[in-house]
Amino acid sequence: MPREPARDTAELVTAAKDGDRAAFDELVRVTHADTYTLAYRLTGDEEDARDVVQEAYLRAYRGLKRFRGEAQFSTWMYRITANCAATHLGRRARNRHDDLDEAATVVDAHPDHDPQLRADADDLRSRLRVALEGLPPRLRAVVVLRDVYDLPHEAIASELGISESAAKVRLHRARHKLRDQLFPRRDGESRAV
């Protein structure tokens, strides 16, 4: 039995705004993977990412009537997700407690892979994750949107509801904080800015 072709996103948004719950469910289905990926990259934790995604779709559902369609629905969801992640991380920081890291890195035993290079890469990846988690949410969001999603400054500004110059300043600050965390200066060393 042939499937009915999927409606395009604009049609789904219009139908969902008119109260069609199935249309909103379809919007969730087509945007969920990207929304979750962004939430995970902003929070660094699967459970937190799931909470952020749930909150983001709840906010989207409640605010759908206000969506004007000036941007794509996915862009609107990115902005909501980034805001939810910032709120969630702020709450988490106030209630912080140390968890044991249950995820252990598995080293590939393939003979063509250099175990030392693999260990060094895993170490750097782990240090980068910790450094990213240590950034304030507003700085982390800019780094993720620029360096992971490769969005231009203008798009980042639009996503986060800030000016383009603010996006550039935040990215500059975030990268300096990451560099200082990952590659600390030794006493007496100077670093060019």
Q: Are 39 and 85 in contact (CB under 8 A)?
A: yes
Mean pLDDT across the chain = 80
Q: How deeply is 144 buried, as exposed, middle or buried, from its count of CB atoms within 10 A (0-12, 13-18, 19+)?
A: buried
In a shared domain, residues 34 and 83:
yes
In a shared domain, residues 191 and 121:
yes
Q: Where are the beta strands (DSSP E) in the chain?
A: none
Number of structural domains (the chain) is 2
Q: How deeply is 164 buried, as exposed, middle or buried, from its count of CB atoms within 10 A (0-12, 13-18, 19+)?
A: middle
Which candidate, 14, 13, 17, 38, places its Cα nearest to that of 27? 13
88 assigned to some structural domain: yes
Q: At what angle do helices 73-94 and 21-43 cross, to 10 degrees?
A: 50
Domain end residue (candidates: 64, 97, 130): 97
Task: Give the CA-trace dihedral at 69, 80, 140, 97, to 10 degrees.
Answer: -170
Q: Are 141 and 90 in contact (CB under 8 A)?
A: no
Has residue 84 got a pLDDT over 80? yes
In a shared domain, residues 43 and 135:
no
What's the whole-number mean pLDDT along residues 132-155?
85
In a shared domain, residues 148 and 75:
no
104 assigned to some structural domain: no
The pLDDT score that the predictor gives to residue 108 is 46
* 102-135 pLDDT per residue, tens: 333 444 444 455 777 777 777 777 888 888 888 8
Q: Which two tokens stand for residue 180?
A: 């200082």
